[in-house]
Amino acid sequence: MTACGDKPAESAPVSTPTADNSATTTAAGVSPSQAGSSAVAGTDTTAAGQTSTAVGSGTTAKTTAGEATTKPQTQTGGNYNLKKSDFILNESVLAPRYYGDTTVFYTGYGVLGGSDNTPAELTEKSIEAHGLGEAWFHPLDGCEDGYGYNTPLGYKCNVGEWGYSFLNISGNYPGDGKEKQGAGWQVYTPKNDKDALAIIRNWLFGKYSNDAHHHIEYGKEGQMAINGHAHWQHYAAEWGFDCVGAELGENVASHQAHMAFTRGAARQYGIKTAVSTSNWYKSTIGTEESTDSWPGFGSKDGGHSLSLHRRAFILSYMSNISMYGFEASSRLSFLGPEYVDENGILELSSYGKMAKELVGFATANPDIGISYAPIGIVMDFYHGLAAYSTLPGGVSGKSHNKAFGYFPNTPGDKMNWDLFELYYPGGGLFGGYMAPGMPGEEVYQVNTSYGDTCDVLLQNASQTVLNSYPVLLLCGDIKFTSAEVKRYQTYVEQGGTLLCNTAYLKYFESYKAAYKGGTRQDIRDGKGTVIVYGPDYSVVNLGPILQEQLKQYIPFTFSKTVEYLVNVKDGSLIVTVINNDGVTKEATKPPVVDATKAVTLDITYTGDLKIKRVKELYYGEAVNLSGNTVKTTVPAGDYRVFEYVFD
């Protein structure tokens, strides 16, 4: 792939990675004081026998694995023993951006998002009566100013599934069904990766600009872009969209990666986020309507399991999503116009009862703190990571050989796939699910010992954004500019930990000079550390390094492998544990639940603060707390949400 430090094609000037050399006084490497195994900035926590070299000093030091050379600091002052600032290095970057105080839930209705079989007034009344979120009307002939969406939040243009539309639907129809001729690599021939991104940008702004349902313009406020199969959230943000996000469910089998990209894009560009969950699954959709809105596709046993919807919700909500929508839920949530209760309200379907439960949890728990991801994965600006291609053969995920769905992977591009397969083992897109056939539900979200602990950034992130993460991991076919090299060196000097594959040493002369060879070496620079590992573009030796960093920054251990998230509030930490095992579903059959896949585990707080109490927030279950350990059982395809409150 071509060097991303050069200016992209003139047809897409906004694709240029922007340089930001501003410095910040934030100590990027300061560990949470309550983490127990953490070390404050400037201490050495290398594994047993590893050599740690200080740049320019010629001195070395050795410590025992997991041992901190300085004891954790004790937080003093203020009204809380635990403060957000103990974990959140820069709240202005990492705090969620809401439309008000918390996540907004919406249910669209009308011709595009509602029911063809039920009067719009009855649908709207029932949405509001059941507490399914805000009712948003989607008219057939567009809205004010030529836009296609009226929302109370001011978003009048939502470009959905645009990456999928470009790459996989032969250039004819995007996900919303509106004809857009001329998309995809069956029409265009990019010269290089910069040219590919410019083509995609021009296609997006050209094809979605002049119809009744879309009227996007570069730089106009109130534009939202939601992607599905392509992990291109940052590109939409770079092009001026002020809300970006992901479609989950459908055949989008990489929920956790999509949330890492969505969180990272929002934090890098300072914008809001959205998730839409789709019940479409392998050309079927689950519905209990008396008159099927999708003849030939809809059935009671079609679509996704409610378990997957619930797990996608809890992942999204605890990730501080700004806006959450249930696709086609005005149809899916009700049994049909014949089923009306004594108050004149539509009766809920199984899906509707689930949606009411989820929105109810969010309403009862509006303050979930800040989603905590201590690791920032820094990717090549032109990574082009996507599942599908319109080239002959169709699917880039089949052999992991297409960047932007077009270019054969370089070793750096392959590293992207390998890293996410390491982080989310067996998970969807990165597990090669596309060969043969479409993915099964069991790979949409997966249990992982790494949890949901990373955000994805692009290499052009500002100094302020970089310094908001205690750990940065370089990944992909990155070609650094001199200004970018300076930013990453400053990050380390100010206290950050940079996980640097040997392939990138050519950009960092002092680190290259200090490197003595081998699969790992820790190099000190100022207050921070560069952990160099190899071989080039390989993640084979990265796993233990990631676990070491998570032990330092995540103040909990888990006795069994589950998916987990940590949220930080003043005075408390919220731990969400998700068991993704045990639920399977074929497209036209009921889900199968294997109860033996329930996980009984210990969640142990490893910090030095006294636990005042622990509450289970979702089900309100009694908590089995012994010392610093919560003992719990999470059934197959379910989750628990624990809030640890400290004295």
Rounded Cα distance, 282 and 250, in Å: 8
Overall number of domains in the chain: 3
In this structure, the answer to whether residues 363 and 377 fall within a common structural domain is no
Taking 70 as the threshold, does the pLDDT of residue 458 lie above it? yes
Rounded Cα distance, 17 and 464, in Å: 16
In this structure, the answer to whether residues 187 and 109 fall within a common structural domain is yes
CATH code: domain of residue 480? 3.40.50
Tell me, yes or no, whether 463 lies in a domain: yes
Q: Are 75 and 85 in contact (CB under 8 A)?
A: no
Q: Per-residue confidence at 440, pLDDT binned at 50, 70, 90?
A: confident
Assigned token pair, 586:
């074929």
Q: Are 86 and 75 in contact (CB under 8 A)?
A: yes
Which residue has better confidence, 606 or 80?
Answer: 606
**Sheet hosting strand 323-326, strand order edge to edge:** 134-138, 104-110, 323-326, 272-278, 243-249, 223-227, 157-160
What is the C-alpha radius of gyration for the chain, rounded to an integer number of angstroms? Answer: 24
Mean of pLDDT values over 172-192: 63
Mean of pLDDT values over 45-67: 37
Global confidence as pTM: 0.87
User: Which pLDDT does position 54 carry in this prediction?
Assistant: 60
In this structure, the answer to whether residues 323 and 358 fall within a common structural domain is yes
Per-residue burial over 128-141, b if 16 or more Cβ lie within 10 Å, else e, is eebebbbbbbbeee
Rounded Cα distance, 522 and 531, in Å: 4
User: Which pLDDT does position 620 carry in this prediction?
Assistant: 97
Least confident of 68-72, 139-143, 241-245: 68-72
User: Which pLDDT does position 28 carry in this prediction?
Assistant: 45
Mean of pLDDT values over 320-326: 92
Q: Per-residue confidence at 290, pLDDT binned at 50, 70, 90?
A: confident
CATH code: domain of residue 620? 2.60.40.1180
Angle ∠(453,457,462) on CA atoms, nearest 5 = 125
Domain range enclosing 518: 52-71+373-383+409-549
Least confident of 145-154, 190-199, 323-332: 145-154
In this structure, the answer to whether residues 502 and 477 fall within a common structural domain is yes
Rounded Cα distance, 573 and 559, in Å: 19
Per-residue burial over 6-39, b if 16 or more Cβ lie within 10 Å, else e, is eebbeebeebbbeebeeebebbbbbbbbbbbbbb
Q: What is the pLDDT of residues 24-34, one digit of tens each?
A: 333 444 444 33
Q: Per-residue confidence at 181, pLDDT binned at 50, 70, 90?
A: very low
- Best-predicted range by mean pLDDT (15-24, 111-120, 202-211, 570-579): 570-579
Q: Is 344 exposed, middle or buried, given 0-12, 13-18 or 19+ CB atoms closer than 10 A?
A: exposed
In this structure, the answer to whether residues 64 and 118 fall within a common structural domain is no
Q: Per-residue confidence at 628, pLDDT binned at 50, 70, 90?
A: very high
| Region class of 483: left (phi > 0), else alpha (psi between -120 and 50), else beta | alpha
Show which of 514, 549, 584 is a domain's final residue.
549
In this structure, the answer to whether residues 585 and 543 fall within a common structural domain is no
Q: Are 116 and 289 in contact (CB under 8 A)?
A: no
DSSP per-residue string spanning 433-472: TTSSSSPPGGGTS---TT-S-EEEEETT--HHHHTT-SEE
Tell me, yes or no, whether 390 lies in a domain: no
User: Which pLDDT does position 88 carry in this prediction?
Assistant: 97
In this structure, the answer to whether residues 468 and 560 fall within a common structural domain is no
Q: Per-residue confidence at 228, pLDDT binned at 50, 70, 90?
A: confident
Mean of pLDDT values over 79-84: 85
Taking 70 as the threshold, does the pLDDT of residue 529 lie above it? yes
Mean of pLDDT values over 318-340: 92
User: Which pLDDT does position 389 carry in this prediction?
Assistant: 59
Q: Per-residue confidence at 505, pLDDT binned at 50, 70, 90?
A: very high
- Please name the amino acid found at residue 6: D
In this structure, the answer to whether residues 627 and 483 fall within a common structural domain is no
Rounded Cα distance, 328 and 40, in Å: 49
Taking 80 as the threshold, does the pLDDT of residue 583 lie above it? yes
Mean of pLDDT values over 203-209: 80
Rounded Cα distance, 294 and 292, in Å: 5
User: Which pLDDT does position 397 carry in this prediction?
Assistant: 44
In this structure, the answer to whether residues 56 and 171 fall within a common structural domain is no
Mean of pLDDT values over 186-214: 83
Show which of 492, 520, 549 is a domain's final residue.
549
Quick one: what percent of the chain has pLDDT higher than 90?
60
In this structure, the answer to whether residues 317 and 351 fall within a common structural domain is yes
Q: Per-residue confidence at 400, pLDDT binned at 50, 70, 90?
A: low
Instruction: Give first-to-last CA distance, the chain, whole Å.
Output: 53
Show which of 493, 524, 549 is a domain's final residue.
549
Which residue has better confidence, 164 or 477?
Answer: 477
In this structure, the answer to whether residues 187 and 147 fall within a common structural domain is yes
How high does pLDDT run on average in the chain? Answer: 81
Mean of pLDDT values over 198-224: 77
Q: Per-residue confidence at 137, pLDDT binned at 50, 70, 90?
A: low
Quick one: what percent of the chain has pLDDT higher than 70?
76
Q: What is the pLDDT of residues 334-377, one digit of tens each?
A: 999 999 999 999 999 999 999 999 999 999 999 999 999 999 99
In this structure, the answer to whether residues 230 and 302 fall within a common structural domain is yes
Mean of pLDDT values over 98-116: 68
- Partners of 530 in the β-ladder: 498, 523
Taking 50 as the threshold, does the pLDDT of residue 604 lie above it? yes
Tell me, yes or no, whether 356 lies in a domain: yes
Mean of pLDDT values over 518-527: 97
User: SS3 sequence, 623-642?
Assistant: CEEECCEEEEEECCCEEEEE
